[in-house]
Structure 1
Amino acid sequence: MRRTMILAAFAAILTLTTAPAMAIMYPTAPVTFGPGTAGEGSLQDVLNSITVAPTAGVSSVNTATDAIRDDLDSYWSISGSSQSAATMIIELSAWKDQTSFGVFDMFNPLSRVEIFSGADAPGIANGGLKNLVIDADGKVYVNYVLQGTFVGNAFGYYITTPQQNTWYSDTDLNADEFDHMLVYQGKNIDSVQIAGLSKGLWTNNEFILAFEDQWGGGDGDWQDLVLMVESVVPVPVPGAVLLGVLGLGAAGMRLRKRQS
């Protein structure tokens, strides 16, 4: 019965949120960055460093103003290709060898599938390029190896740190109530080159995910893990519909906000 209700909720969500299926530019919101760590480049520096055209070293994406709104970046689905590539760009964290990245089931956040382990690093030879597939039965594959089963093609992203803190793309799930993931959409302007791979246009079908790994935001630099995903679209969940169908009640609703 519960699975039926969950599937009904999922169908309702997709019915009421058809806009993400279109090639659109998603609304953005400003971000307040912290001081960062001495000797490390900023997130803007990271985006500039992978930009090779039209102006080498200068990204058209402004990290302070162009992050997708927090209420739109919590959950995602794979689009028509039925598979999504994840390409690691950089890790600027003392915990980089111990931090993992993956996806979690929108309807069961404890159901998680790891994509990158702490041992992975940018570059094909280092495990920095992986493929994610979710089939019609919700089976989740990484590099075509079955790793778990979700309710369907709706998921969020997460990182887990060596302190066993798991930071979710859905800010409401984070114990510190901090938004640990920023998302930037390509503008069909810049050509980028990542970790020795061939250069190409950063399209609006591709998104850069930028994570802050410290409790409460730490140094507020959001460049502890930076990667690009493609062939995914945001699934902005109508909270009232989701809570109503699942019978969770209005008590679970609260305003989400981006912490500064």
Structure 2
Amino acid sequence: MRIKLLLLTIALLLTSTHGMALTVSSNQLVTSAGNYSDTGDEAFSFTGGDDITAFLMFEFAGYQNTNTFGLYTYSFDTQGNVVADNTLEIFNGAAQGLWDDNQDPLNSTTTVTFDFTGGSVSTSNNSIAISDNRFGFYLTSPTNNGQTFYTHTSLNADQYDHFLTFDTRDNAAWEVMGSNYVLAAEDLWSGGDQDFTDMVVGISDIAPVPEPATLLLLGSGLVGLAFLKRRKS
């Protein structure tokens, strides 16, 4: 915790010196170290230790005081469609982003703890069951007709992709606070103004999870390579 607080203090000092250098524009995350493009990733896994840290970077939205952001577990039905299961709130409307203004930095971070032995994932306020190491993220807008949008586009009632996902595992930009991924959300139906600045969150210690279709293609490729190698032998 002491290390996390030190990182936050350093980042805030750099912000006062260099100004806000983290923005979302034209489906790209713009940082002092260069731009990151949207990866289109929908699902993620936990990569190490026992917890992840979520950093609320900024919110520029009419519903920012009521929007909530969190993690959801998911499964597949008999047709292979994604089904959202349990949800765990990470940030509520009372939270403020690191780059929004000069608020208490503790209000901008949340620790999410994974316990695969006990089958749970939790914050200091709540806990949900988790059966395997895969999850997505969601944004709920209670005052905007109570709509919830997921990183899995197929789960969204409007079938619109409400999340841009940026792979920042190179840790080249100080503004991302050591996050492995930065997620930028749009909270309006069918994309609205498509600015994707309604909630921007950095997450540490996660990696993308290939979906079944991708795994099937990968498996087919490996089988083909094995067949060719056998024929050559």
Q: Same fold (TM over 0.5)?
A: yes
- How far the C-alpha of 1:187 sits from its partner, in A, is 6.0
Residue 200 of structure 2: aligned partner: 226
Residue 174 of structure 1: aligned partner: 156
Q: Supply the distance in 1 between the matched residues of 2:38 and 2:128 (Cα, whole angstroms).
A: 30
The one-letter code sitting in structure 2 at the alignment partner of 1:86 is A
The one-letter code sitting in structure 2 at the alignment partner of 1:117 is N
Residue 182 of structure 2: aligned partner: 208
Structure 1 unpaired stretches of 5+: 1-40, 52-57, 195-199, 243-260
- How far the C-alpha of 1:75 sits from its partner, in A, is 1.1
- 1:71-109 C-alpha deviation (Å, 9 max, x unpaired): xx2111111223111000000101000100001112251
Q: Supply the distance in 1 between the matched residues of 2:109 and 2:47 (Cα, whole angstroms).
A: 19
The one-letter code sitting in structure 2 at the alignment partner of 1:101 is F
Q: Supply the distance in 2 between the matched residues of 1:235 and 1:118 (Cα, whole angstroms).
A: 29
Number of positions where the alignment pairs a residue of Structure 1 with one of Structure 2: 179
- How far the C-alpha of 1:220 sits from its partner, in A, is 0.8
- 1:13-58 C-alpha deviation (Å, 9 max, x unpaired): xxxxxxxxxxxxxxxxxxxxxxxxxxxx96139954xx4xxxxxx4
The answer to whether residue 89 in structure 2 is matched with residue 114 in structure 1 is yes
- How far the C-alpha of 1:241 sits from its partner, in A, is 7.7
Residue 152 of structure 1: aligned partner: 132
Query: Is the Cα–Cα contact under 8 Å of residues 134 and 153 in structure 1 kept in the other structure?
Result: no
Q: Supply the distance in 2 between the matched residues of 1:238 and 1:211 (Cα, whole angstroms).
A: 25
DSSP-derived class of the 2:34 partner:
coil
Query: Is the Cα–Cα contact under 8 Å of residues 182 and 203 in structure 2 kept in the other structure?
Result: yes
TM-score where L is the length of structure 2: 0.68
Which structure's residues are more often strand, by fraction? 2
Using the aligned pairs only, state the percent identity.
Answer: 27
Query: Is the Cα–Cα contact under 8 Å of residues 74 and 85 in structure 2 kept in the other structure?
Result: no
DSSP-derived class of the 1:106 partner:
strand
The one-letter code sitting in structure 1 at the alignment partner of 2:140 is T
Instruction: Select which of 119, 123, 128 maps to 1:138.
Output: 119
The one-letter code sitting in structure 1 at the alignment partner of 2:91 is F
- 1:122-163 C-alpha deviation (Å, 9 max, x unpaired): 2455621001122113211114x5521122221110000122
The answer to whether residue 207 in structure 2 is matched with residue 237 in structure 1 is no
Alignment of 1:38-49 (within 5 A): 43-44=24-25, 47-48=29-30
- 1:144-191 C-alpha deviation (Å, 9 max, x unpaired): x55211222211100001221100000000000000011111263633
Taking a change above 3 Å as real, the CA distance of residues 168 and 82 of structure 1, as seen in their structure-2 partners, is: same
Taking a change above 3 Å as real, the CA distance of residues 214 and 97 of structure 1, as seen in their structure-2 partners, is: same
Alignment of 1:8-157 (within 5 A): 43-44=24-25, 47-48=29-30, 51=31, 58-62=32-36, 66-68=37-39, 70=40, 73-107=41-75, 108-123=83-98, 124-125=104-105, 127-136=107-116, 137-143=118-124, 146-157=126-137
The one-letter code sitting in structure 1 at the alignment partner of 2:109 is L
DSSP-derived class of the 2:132 partner:
coil
The one-letter code sitting in structure 2 at the alignment partner of 1:140 is V
The answer to whether residue 199 in structure 2 is matched with residue 217 in structure 1 is no
Bigger Rg over Cα: 2
Taking a change above 3 Å as real, the CA distance of residues 185 and 140 of structure 1, as seen in their structure-2 partners, is: same
Taking a change above 3 Å as real, the CA distance of residues 85 and 189 of structure 1, as seen in their structure-2 partners, is: closer
